[in-house]
Structure 1
Amino acid sequence: MPDNRTNDWKTAWEAAVMPTYGTPAIELVSGKGSRVTDSEGREYIDLLAGIAVNALGHAHPAVVRAVSEQIATLGHTSNIFAHPQVIALANKLRGLISPDAHVFFSNSGAEANEAAFKTARLTGRSRILAAEHGFHGRTMGSLAMTGQPGKRAPFEPMPAGVEFYPYGDLDALRELILVAPDDTAAVILESVQGETGVVPAPDGFLTGVRELCDEFGVLMIVDEVQAGMGRTGRWFGYQVEDVLPDVVTLAKGLGGGLPIGACVAATPAGQLLSAGQHGSTFGGNPVSCAAGNAVIDTVIAENILDNVNRQGEYLRTALGDLDAVDHVRGRGLMLGVVLREPRPGFTARALEAGLLLNQPAEDVLRLVPPLNITDTDVREAVAVLKELLK
């Protein structure tokens, strides 16, 4: 028999919200740690974390305290004025990336990549080389750099000047640069392609891209929107190799659930955008920056990167041994469980069994739980997955 409460919220959603996401399967009303509860009182283990956003899980005391104190003190200033939280967060990011970096704050990863796009164009060159199958956002500039034709096609013509190379292929990238080396402004890539199905850069690729960019005077832009902020067991996914990008873009886990993005430009690239050339009314909002400061401080204070590596290794081993699983790829708590055969609709079955996860492809499960997920929740989730994958 249909549940009237379910019908009520679904009807209200469909009447009021644009159909860009379809109608959700459940309505979430509360969360604590790595667990969430829906409007019918059912509890779930959250292996999705708002698509790698809730770095510290739900209702973490440090984030709650930071944003509560800030909203009661100063909620918004615009960028006409400074405030302590934005300065503190910018300096924390400089400490994690480069002491010479400069930071532009936005509201999302797509906006951070827009800032990177504009930074590249200020080199005086026009070509931007992006990876096939990559994903950088849904705004027109970030979508133009997204190497998934199906996402771009409905909105063409895209902003001009973006060309695509095969992810992981240094020879192909060199050949593409050589088409017009004096007009190539930047190479953009993800250290781990998330939306494609959690595909890490092959060994040596990041170093090779850095060397190519140095050789031809091209900016290296690394999109760390999903892989950054500890998700891979390091602060940033590119740190698996000894490279420093010219530009790093962030969002998702940076705010621990609040909307914030950042374009961090190390090297001279940080001086390219000048006064009046870019801006964001809400970028660097005091409340979002307070959340970002709380996230970074907590990850350090609670040694959360150790937990990321430990739980990630357990998931990789426990799930990789299953007959239904071909292999598990990714790093830390950014994992793609590659199945031996397609399992369409698996997320619905997982939901019924009390797990939140998603499928970037019918034969790939993406697991991006909170970075501080507990042993208990990981082991219970694995037990459920084992039953579902039998």
Structure 2
Amino acid sequence: MSDLSARFEAAMMPNYGLPPVALARGEGCRVWDVDGKAYLDLIGGIAVSALGHAHPALVAAVSAQVGTLAHTSNLFLHEPEVLLAERLLQLLGGDGRVFFTNSGTEANEAAYKLVRRHAGPDRTYVVAAEGSFHGRTMGALALTGKTSIREPFAPFGADVRFVTYGSEEALRAAVTEECAAVFLEPTQGEGGVVPAPEGYLAAARRICDETGAALVLDEIQSGIGRTGVWFQHQREGVRPDVITLAKGLGGGLPIGVCVGFGPYATAFGKGDHGSTFGGNPVSCAAALAVLDTIDKEGLLESVGTVGDLLAAGITRTGHPLVAGVRGSGLWRAMVLSEPKAAAVEAAARDAGFLVNAVQPDAVRLAPPLIITSEEAASFVAALPEILSKA
């Protein structure tokens, strides 16, 4: 580990700092570092590794595709991208159109361009939420309501107005007929797995309908079964004009999606946007394998069951450092009574569990969707000692 860490620091830009663990391999929900220590992976590559590690269905799909056709660019079409687009539209249940990207931030860049293209010059601004995270490229960063990562790169050349997340009153005051779009996460992921209050998304839908603004839902983290349904907005009965997806869809391979509905399905004209690697055949094959496996193995139901067991177990510890649990499905935040998330992350790592200190007082859990109740219980059993050590 020490030799690899030194090489990392010498070769890599310092924006990630020095990661504390160097991973060598994984199987199921477990990973092993270069020194042979095993960990239960409860962060899943930040809600990416939906099928865990080395899942046979994913390995087979990717191997077959890379041995057949690995890349085409957008100058040519191929069947995996069409199959995936059709499957996503079926799951979303709408008359939409799909644009493929390589990541979540690029999906949000596409969504931002899409709503600007449709809005025309009279709608001059967009609205986003304080505490939100939509990506780190300049357009997506302009929409991100985390001042600590946003302000060092200002100005952005975009009029983005931020409102208190969850406040219908603030949203109504901010959205007028000059607003092009409202960008919201159904649950704020990087903000600490903070779900929208009941009725908030429905209120946002009404406000957008009344003013003609587009409702854009960022389901980069919440989509693809993470909360126990295919897409979190479906639980709320709210239909967006544009939705963005990424992370869990590829099961570890890079892919992002921007889907537009109604007039937003065809707002882009030829040449308005593009991506050399977007819709790559290998990534599309991986995504199809992820969707098929979630369906065939009944993982949506399991996500709800195991997620509830995990949340209940954390609550039952009764440890004074645990103030509560937020989130749904296998996307939870253990809320702490003190800002000791980094210490909890380190203590969990020492005990053989990988978690994420997403906020100073919140520890994020986003394990693979295949995690078993027994594996979740092993973390709960170890948690009191982890918390006491922290």
**TM-score, reference length from structure 2:** 0.96
Question: Which residue number in structure 2 is paired with residue 3 of structure 1?
Answer: none
Q: What is the deviation of 1:375? A: 2.1
Q: Where do 1:86-101 residues align within 5 Å?
A: 86-101=81-96
- For residue 363 of structure 1, what is the amino acid of its counterpart? D
Question: Which residue number in structure 2 is paired with residue 174 of structure 1?
Answer: 172
Question: Which residue number in structure 1 is paired with residue 227 of structure 2?
Answer: 232
- 8 A contact 2:126–2:160 mirrored in 1: yes
- State the distance in 1 between where 2:356 and 2:309 align: 19
- State the distance in 1 between where 2:257 and 2:81 align: 11
Ranges in structure 2 where 5+ consecutive residues have no aligned partner: none
Q: What is the deviation of 1:99? A: 3.5
Deviations 1:217-241 (A, max 9, x none): 1100000000110001111111221
Q: What is the deviation of 1:153? A: 1.4
Question: Which residue number in structure 1 is paired with residue 356 of structure 2?
Answer: 358
Question: Which residue number in structure 2 is paired with residue 49 of structure 1?
Answer: 44
Question: Which residue number in structure 2 is paired with residue 76 of structure 1?
Answer: 71
Question: Which residue number in structure 2 is paired with residue 186 of structure 1?
Answer: 181
Task: Choose the corresponding residue for 1:259, options 254, 257, 282.
Answer: 254
Question: Which residue number in structure 2 is paired with residue 388 of structure 1?
Answer: 386
Question: Which residue number in structure 1 is paired with residue 326 of structure 2?
Answer: 329
Q: What is the deviation of 1:379? A: 1.1
- 8 A contact 2:313–2:377 mirrored in 1: no
- State the distance in 2 between where 1:112 and 1:215 align: 26
Ranges in structure 1 where 5+ consecutive residues have no aligned partner: 1-5
Question: Which residue number in structure 2 is paired with residue 338 of structure 1?
Answer: 335
- 8 A contact 2:303–2:369 mirrored in 1: yes
Question: Which residue number in structure 2 is paired with residue 134 of structure 1?
Answer: 132
- 8 A contact 2:44–2:366 mirrored in 1: yes
Q: What is the deviation of 1:150? A: 1.2
Deviations 1:152-188 (A, max 9, x none): 11111113111101101111111111xxx23210000
Task: Choose the corresponding residue for 1:205, options 200, 207, 211.
Answer: 200
Question: Which residue number in structure 1 is paired with residue 159 of structure 2?
Answer: 161
Task: Choose the corresponding residue for 2:58, options 63, 67, 72.
Answer: 63
- State the distance in 2 between where 1:302 and 1:153 align: 44
Deviations 1:253-274 (A, max 9, x none): 0000000000011121111111
Q: Is 1:379 aligned with 2:377?
A: yes
Deviations 1:8-33 (A, max 9, x none): 10111001111110011111010001
Question: Which residue number in structure 2 is paired with residue 347 of structure 1?
Answer: 345
Question: Which residue number in structure 2 is paired with residue 39 of structure 1?
Answer: 34
- State the distance in 2 between where 1:285 and 1:159 align: 31
- State the distance in 1 between where 2:315 and 2:254 align: 34
- 8 A contact 1:56–1:295 mirrored in 2: yes
- State the distance in 2 between where 1:342 and 1:243 align: 35
Question: Which residue number in structure 2 is paired with residue 150 of structure 1?
Answer: 148
- State the distance in 1 between where 2:303 and 2:378 align: 17
Q: Decide which moves more: 158-167 or 142-151.
A: 158-167
- State the distance in 2 between where 1:115 and 1:213 align: 20
- 8 A contact 2:356–2:365 mirrored in 1: yes
- State the distance in 1 between where 2:362 and 2:127 align: 27
Q: Is 1:248 aligned with 2:246?
A: no
- State the distance in 1 between where 2:212 and 2:220 align: 25
Q: What is the deviation of 1:376? A: 2.2
- RMSD over aligned Cα atoms: 0.9
- State the distance in 1 between where 2:171 and 2:128 align: 9
- For residue 234 of structure 2, what is the amino acid of its counterpart? Q
- State the distance in 2 between where 1:375 and 1:269 align: 41
- 8 A contact 1:152–1:158 mirrored in 2: no
Identical amino acids, percent of aligned pairs: 52
Task: Choose the corresponding residue for 1:113, options 75, 94, 108.
Answer: 108
- State the distance in 2 between where 1:369 and 1:32 align: 13
Q: What is the deviation of 1:146? A: 0.2
Q: What is the deviation of 1:82? A: 0.6
Task: Choose the corresponding residue for 1:284, options 242, 254, 279.
Answer: 279
- State the distance in 2 between where 1:111 and 1:158 align: 16
- For residue 358 of structure 2, what is the amino acid of its counterpart? P
- State the distance in 1 between where 2:263 and 2:383 align: 48
- For residue 335 of structure 1, what is the amino acid of its counterpart? R
Deviations 1:280-338 (A, max 9, x none): 00000000000000000110000000110011100111101222311111010010111
Q: What is the deviation of 1:383? A: 1.2
- What SS does the corresponding residue of 1:163 show, helix, strand or coil? strand
- 8 A contact 2:186–2:222 mirrored in 1: yes
Q: Decide which moves more: 343-352 or 63-72.
A: 343-352
- State the distance in 2 between where 1:205 and 1:364 align: 23
- For residue 326 of structure 1, what is the amino acid of its counterpart? A
- State the distance in 2 between where 1:120 and 1:164 align: 17
- State the distance in 1 between where 2:323 and 2:346 align: 21
- What SS does the corresponding residue of 1:345 show, helix, strand or coil? helix
- State the distance in 2 between where 1:365 and 1:207 align: 28
Q: Decide which moves more: 72-81 or 155-164.
A: 155-164
- 8 A contact 1:319–1:386 mirrored in 2: no
- 8 A contact 2:344–2:387 mirrored in 1: no
Task: Choose the corresponding residue for 2:366, options 358, 365, 368.
Answer: 368
- 8 A contact 1:326–1:338 mirrored in 2: yes
Q: What is the deviation of 1:345? A: 2.1
Count of residues in correspondence between the two structures: 382
- 8 A contact 2:91–2:230 mirrored in 1: yes
- State the distance in 2 between where 1:318 and 1:10 align: 36
